[in-house]
């Protein structure tokens, strides 16, 4: 099967590929979670970027899930705390 049209993000029917295709790699936020310091840097980066609340939570959830599978509990906790900070920030914005 040919690759999907640019911008769809969908995999072609009948394709062996199972993953979402990233049609805009310039918009991609790199997630690093090898060490706790990397996870903290990723959380700090996500806090600063201009993306919607849901996208920020999604980015940190990906890091959290990957770290959990690898058994990196300290890194998982860093991502969880980052998500809580973003939720608190969002709640404060809504109150204003």
pLDDT digits (tens, 9 = 90+) for 20-65: 556 667 778 889 999 999 999 999 999 999 999 999 999 999 999 9
CA distances from 94 to 53, 54, 58, 81, 91 (A): 12, 14, 20, 20, 5
User: Tens of pLDDT along 63-89?
Assistant: 999 999 999 999 999 999 999 999 999
Is 84 within 8 Å of 92 (Cβ atoms)?
Answer: no
């Amino acid at each position: 099967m040919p690759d999907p049209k640019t911008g769809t993000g969908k995999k072609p029917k009948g394709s062996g590929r199972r993953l979402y295709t990233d049609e805009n790699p310039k918009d991609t936020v790199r997630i690093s979670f090898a060490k706790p310091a990397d996870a903290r840097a990723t959380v700090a980066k996500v806090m600063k970027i201009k993306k919607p609340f849901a996208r920020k939570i999604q980015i940190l959830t990906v890091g959290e899930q990957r770290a959990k599978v690898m058994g990196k509990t300290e890194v998982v906790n860093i991502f969880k705390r980052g998500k809580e900070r973003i939720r608190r920030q969002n709640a404060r914005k809504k109150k204003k």
